[in-house]
């Protein structure tokens, strides 16, 4: 699915919310060791940077080379391009050379796990996570809460995008409630019951436009000759926002599932 994000890699890196620092501390507090973490589907490295505040080394991987070109360098992060053609053994050797089984303290996936081959990914996570103590955490966000007037206008616009989304995005639309998650509960959501976590952000109208222009559905529609953001639509959204110059305190509606490898009794 990397091709869905290759074309908008630059705008994606400049338009998405920053995950709260306390999320990473919360996850780090769950792992007894802080040696090695893997951020999967890292994109521009946003989550990897937060993880690196708590772990000695972070391996940040993505199938999209254009996304990785916009990743922020960090001395404790190693960015790696991992094409889907890599075997599980090759991928494991890239992440933890020489000692790849039961070696990861934390695996994170931010706004990406819904695109994965889930049985394959979960099998690899079970193999690579430290036992006991290793944690897998996946999270995402969908709605943005601004004001009742703007939220209504945004929903009307969002409805026009629905025919252009890949079907896998339905997992994001329902807040990961239908995402399979066969891991042991650690108090941060469980299969069918993700924990709700707001993501606060100061956002301008231009920032909002950048975000929606980075949506894969908007890009797909444009490639099919359909402009989902014509001038009239932008004007209506701007008026509901309160003007182009207004910066608002908003909340992205986030959700998370975290767990550890289930031990067979």
Domain locations in the chain as residue ranges: 3-144+169-200+251-260
Cα angle 71, 83, 95 (rounded to 5 degrees) comes to 70
DSSP bridge pairs for 138: 109, 257
Residues 6+ apart with CB under 8 A from 258: 27, 30, 135, 136, 137, 138, 183, 186, 187, 188, 189
- Specify the pLDDT at position 151: 96
What parts of the chain have a pLDDT lower than 70? Answer: 1-16, 99, 264-265
Which burial class, exposed, middle or buried, applies to 249 when counting CB atoms under 10 A from its CB (0-12, 13-18, 19+)?
Answer: exposed
**Chain segment 186-204, per-residue pLDDT in tens:** 999 999 999 999 999 999 9
Instruction: Give pLDDT, residue 19.
Output: 95
Which pLDDT score is estimated for 15? Answer: 53
DSSP string, the chain: -THHHHTTHHHHHTTSPPPPHHHHHHHHTT-S--SEEEEET-TTTHHHHHHTTT-SEEEEEES-HHHHTTPPP-TTEEEEE--TTS-HHHHHHHHSTT--TT-BSEEEEES-GGGS-HHHHHHHHHHHB-TTT-EEEEEEEEEEE--HHHHHHHHHHHHHHGGGS-GGGHHHHTTTTT----SEE-SS-BTTBPEEEEEEEEEEHHHHHHHHHTSHHHHHHHHTT--SS-HHHHHHHHHHHT-TT-EEEEEEEEEEEEEEPPPP-
pLDDT for position 254: 96
Q: Domain 3-144+169-200+251-260 belongs to what architecture?
A: 3-Layer(aba) Sandwich (3.40)
Give the model's pLDDT for residue 98.
75
Q: Which of 49, 193, 42 is nearest to 112 (CA)?
A: 42
pTM more than 0.85: yes
The pLDDT of residue 10: 46
């Amino acid at each position: 699915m990397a091709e869905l994000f290759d074309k908008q890699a630059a705008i994606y890196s400049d338009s998405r919310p920053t995950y709260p620092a306390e999320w990473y501390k919360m996850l780090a507090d769950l792992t007894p060791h802080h040696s090695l973490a893997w951020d999967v589907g890292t994109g521009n490295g946003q989550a990897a940077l937060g993880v690196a505040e708590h772990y000695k080394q972070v391996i940040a991987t993505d199938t999209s080379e254009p996304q990785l070109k916009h990743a922020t360098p960090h001395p404790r992060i190693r960015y790696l391009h991992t094409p889907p053609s890599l075997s599980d053994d090759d991928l494991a050797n890239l992440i933890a050379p020489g000692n790849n089984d039961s070696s990861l303290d934390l695996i994170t996936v931010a706004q990406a796990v819904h695109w994965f081959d889930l049985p394959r990914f979960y099998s690899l996570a079970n193999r690579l996570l430290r036992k006991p103590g290793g944690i897998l955490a996946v999270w995402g966000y969908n709605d943005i809460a601004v004001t009742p007037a703007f939220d209504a206008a945004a929903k009307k616009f969002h409805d026009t995008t629905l025919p252009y989304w890949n079907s896998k995005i339905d997992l994001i639309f329902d807040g990961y409630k239908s995402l399979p998650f066969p891991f042991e509960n650690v108090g941060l959501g469980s299969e069918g019951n993700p924990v709700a976590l707001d993501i606060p952000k100061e956002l301008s109208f231009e920032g909002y436009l950048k975000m929606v222009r980075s949506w894969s559905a908007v890009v797909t529609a444009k490639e099919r000759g359909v402009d989902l953001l014509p001038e009239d639509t932008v004007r209506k959204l701007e008026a509901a926002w309160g003007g182009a110059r207004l910066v608002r305190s908003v909340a992205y509606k986030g959700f998370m599932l975290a767990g550890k490898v289930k031990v067979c009794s």
